[in-house]
Structure 1
Amino acid sequence: MENGGGETQKWNFKGNNSLSKASGITVSGVLNSLMKNLNPSDNRQILRLGHGDPSHFPCFYTSPFAEDAVVDALRSRQFNCYSSTAGILPARKAVAEYLSRHLPNKLSPDDIFLTLGCTHAIEVALSVLSNPGANILIPKPGFPYYEAVSANTDLEIRHFNLLPEKGWEVDLDAVGALADENTVAMVIINPGNPCGNVYSYEHLQKVAETAKKLGILVIADEVYEHLTFGKNSFIPMGVFSNIVPVLTLGSISKRWIVPGWRVGWLVTNDFHGVLQKSGLVDSIKDFLNISSDPVTFIQGALPQIFENTNEEFFTKIKQILRQGADSCYEKVKEIPCITCPSKPEGSMFVMVKLDLSVLSDIQDDIDFCMKLAKEENMAILPGSAVGMKNYLRITFAVEPLTLEEGIERIKAFCLRHTK
């Protein structure tokens, strides 16, 4: 570039290349890449079966009581101010009361730290645990945002397997083998993303006992809390805080179908005061002082959202998800190159396995999804994005006709590429 005098101007700044790598392993990053492969001449509706956001579909619209709560909070003019860094007291009190309904011990507002959705809670948790040499254990398959955040911290990631033949339970023997004196925490996601599993009380107790033996805390990602429709009910990991300290991460995004409202929480389930004594609670407060806060009027709506949303709304949502899971599980059986290890019992996803041996020109799961996007005008998530090569993650949290059409397109694609 030349300046006005004809000389070449040198600029001292450039983009941060490390962000591209971190972005590329997130769900959004992978799906955005897939969307670039869509055929612009294909006039069929674009089907998005890769992302867990059913809020676009009328059958998944949120409760009118939740909408009214937001309107009332906004019009009250009491919540146009800055939030305190931990969240406004009425909202923290409401979250504490809401979560305590399913815990043996009662949470205090001081145990609650409000965040910009559950992804922000992940950032807080990993950042305060980050010290030179420290490592954290995360599930494979899992939610790739943990890897993306850790890429910009001092935390080393170590993966333990989930066992498809056991309903995606944690391989606890592998956890013990991976941990060392520098291991600080393990992550569990329950109900499961991407697998749709729901852990039993007995399995969660074993997780707690394993973590205690290793001297590490448990990060319990419970953003899909109570979205269960199988044999196991949702059990909060905080039930076992008398065994091991727990950081619970959650939000209203999934249960109320409002991911764009961006309010979540990080909760210290600290029965013996271990997190307080270790300085971790102070580190959380320090991190929030240099972080962003959730929108104040959404916080202001939380007490009314929790109090007024009726059980019929939750029952309806779970029924739609159950029907979607059943339909997806049964229809996948008709596709020759795909098998489903276990029927989903919670969350909004199912993991299915690719049999590449019956396909003629598909190299791996990423190639499958790229060509599927181009040929069928739709997106599903390659398993490599969540740590499972040659698997696929499909969301069933869409309208029934959309799901049916999506499975039919996948079937047509597979038959077209069968040897």
Structure 2
Amino acid sequence: MTRSLIDDDKANTFMVQGSSRTSPEDNGVRKYVEKVSSVSGVSKSVIALAGGDPTGLENVYPPTVVRDKLVEVIHSSNYNSYCPSGGLPQARAAVARYYANHSSVPLKAEDVFICSGAAGALDLVFASLCNAGDSLLLPEPGFPLFRSIANALNIECRYYQLDPTNHFSIQLDSIRKAKNERTKAIVVNNPHNPCGHILSSDEMNAVVHVAKELRLPIIADEVYEEIILDEESKFISFLSFAREISVLKISSISKLYVAPGWRIGWCVIGDKSDSLQDIRAVMKRLSMRLIFPCSLTQAVLPTMLENANLQRQQVTRLIRQNAFTFQSIIQSAHIQGLDVSIPEAGLFLFVKLDPNMLTTISDDVEFVDHLLQEQAVGVVPGQAFGIKNYIRIALTTSKSNMEQAAYRIIHFCKGKCA
């Protein structure tokens, strides 16, 4: 009997196995962001407070002078060619100038690598420092993208602990205990996501002391450096310690300039001792392979950095307003089981849950899942960051959305109270 074409197609069908570079749990935040964006069967409009996309803020855009500069750059046709590896020289020089007063060592354009957002900078730095099987010391709780990038590069993640009873300060002995013979660097997130803590000068000195003791450079993710909510807190960059310890600083324009889609981030190397000389060479070679930001937006970067002050005031004011609005509404309702504190910095509230006060809710994951289905409010559980019974709530929305989210959470909790 003649075989049919359908039978032939079935016989020739096969599956191509994907790589093991990632796992479904690598980036728990993105999982919840996508879950919120695709939720169905809810009776209310969804208030998405899972991601930290600042474009959700009301009537906030890159400054007019920046947008005008982008139009000028496009019409000039001077930036249509391939971009030099490491970034446009004027973009690299602008970043070096921007941090000149924050660094204890002189910075030049060659100390800066322009990358595809802060995530691209982390990828470049991790890949330049580590071979497969090497390890990095990461904070716990911490931003899951650190783990995601490390796993993709076959880098072992070893965790040091933050103390939730003391403003999530770093437990220094846990850094020492986490290090092994293949550890290449300490990753420090300051200001911290999701906790919102800013390291004090004393805390930073203590971390630098441990890094010197262990002979490790510091990878400083400082992407929230511009969003300071506590007016009495002062942000200090790890670049100010570059005379004492080698520093690879990571930051970007995404948060302050409300332009995450422009994909401009950077790594700045502060290294008086030249301990990172070989790492610089590797970064330069890798920058010839990795995909870097569009040359058009790089050409606008100097203008963006020259106009940071007004943008900083506007964005910080709105984030602070949303934080206090949410806290005030929750506290006035006297809800048991939610502890809302204003963070020192960043775009998020990190709210502590007490499941003992909420019947039928066993932990933060269940809280988040039920809240989305019952009240159409999307947030992220603390377990996505490595800590149980907290939820992260993004402040990057309109004031009216923030108010409505607070009232929905109150209604939800009242239905679950013991």
TM tier, smaller: over 0.9
Letter in 1 for 2:369: M
Give per-residue Cα distances to partners, 1:147-181, cap 9 Å, x unaligned.
Answer: 11111223110111212222221111111121122
8 Å CA contact 1:38–1:378 kept in 2: the answer is: no
Letter in 1 for 2:127: S
Local SS of the residue matching 1:94 = helix
Letter in 1 for 2:209: E
Deviation of 1:24 after TM superposition, in Å, equals 5.3
Partner residue of 1:39? 41
1:167-316 superposed matches below 5 A: 167-230=167-230, 231-276=232-277, 279-307=278-306, 309=307, 311-316=309-314
Identity %: 29
Give per-residue Cα distances to partners, 1:244-301, cap 9 Å, x unaligned.
Answer: 111111111111111111011011111111101xx11111112222210110000011
Q: Distance in 1 between matches of 2:289 and 2:14?
A: 27
Local SS of the residue matching 2:35 = helix
- Does the C-alpha gap of structure 1 residues 329 and 163 become closer, same or farther in structure 2, counting only changes over 3 Å? farther
Deviation of 1:197 after TM superposition, in Å, equals 1.3
Partner residue of 1:404? 403
1:127-166 superposed matches below 5 A: 127-166=127-166
Deviation of 1:190 after TM superposition, in Å, equals 1.2
Backbone CA RMSD of aligned residues:
2.0
8 Å CA contact 1:24–1:30 kept in 2: the answer is: no
Partner residue of 2:30? 28
Letter in 2 for 1:347: G
8 Å CA contact 2:197–2:344 kept in 1: the answer is: yes
8 Å CA contact 1:136–1:157 kept in 2: the answer is: yes
Deviation of 1:5 after TM superposition, in Å, equals 7.8
8 Å CA contact 1:187–1:221 kept in 2: the answer is: yes
Q: 2:323 aligns with which of 314, 325, 339?
A: 325
Deviation of 1:229 after TM superposition, in Å, equals 2.5
Q: Distance in 2 between matches of 1:238 and 1:310?
A: 19
Deviation of 1:325 after TM superposition, in Å, equals 2.3
Local SS of the residue matching 2:51 = coil
**Stretch deviating more after TM superposition (111-120 or 382-391):** 382-391
- Report whether the alignment pairs 1:377 with 2:376: yes
8 Å CA contact 1:199–1:232 kept in 2: the answer is: no
Partner residue of 2:20? 18
Local SS of the residue matching 1:289 = coil
Q: Distance in 1 between matches of 2:63 and 2:404?
A: 27
Give per-residue Cα distances to partners, 1:339-389, cap 9 Å, x unaligned.
Answer: 24x530111112112111122212321111111111111200111111112
8 Å CA contact 1:338–1:352 kept in 2: the answer is: yes
Q: Give 5+ residue unaligned stretches, structure 2.
A: none
Q: Distance in 1 between matches of 2:366 and 2:270?
A: 43
Partner residue of 2:51? 51
Partner residue of 1:74? 74
Deviation of 1:328 after TM superposition, in Å, equals 3.0
Letter in 2 for 1:322: R
Partner residue of 2:385? 386
Q: Distance in 1 between matches of 2:335 and 2:75?
A: 52
Local SS of the residue matching 1:166 = coil
- Report whether the alignment pairs 1:348 with 2:347: yes
Letter in 2 for 1:316: Q
8 Å CA contact 2:208–2:241 kept in 1: the answer is: yes
Deviation of 1:205 after TM superposition, in Å, equals 1.6
Count residues in correspondence: 412
Letter in 2 for 1:182: R
- Does the C-alpha gap of structure 1 residues 313 and 290 become closer, same or farther in structure 2, counting only changes over 3 Å? closer
- Does the C-alpha gap of structure 1 residues 227 and 122 become closer, same or farther in structure 2, counting only changes over 3 Å? same
Letter in 1 for 2:95: V
- Does the C-alpha gap of structure 1 residues 15 and 34 become closer, same or farther in structure 2, counting only changes over 3 Å? farther
Letter in 1 for 2:335: I
Q: Distance in 1 between matches of 2:19 and 2:415?
A: 39
Letter in 2 for 1:275: L
8 Å CA contact 1:186–1:211 kept in 2: the answer is: yes
Q: Distance in 1 between matches of 2:211 and 2:19?
A: 36
Local SS of the residue matching 1:101 = helix
Letter in 2 for 1:367: E
**Stretch deviating more after TM superposition (4-13 or 407-416):** 4-13
Q: Distance in 2 between matches of 1:20 and 1:413?
A: 35
Q: Distance in 2 between matches of 1:269 and 1:10?
A: 56
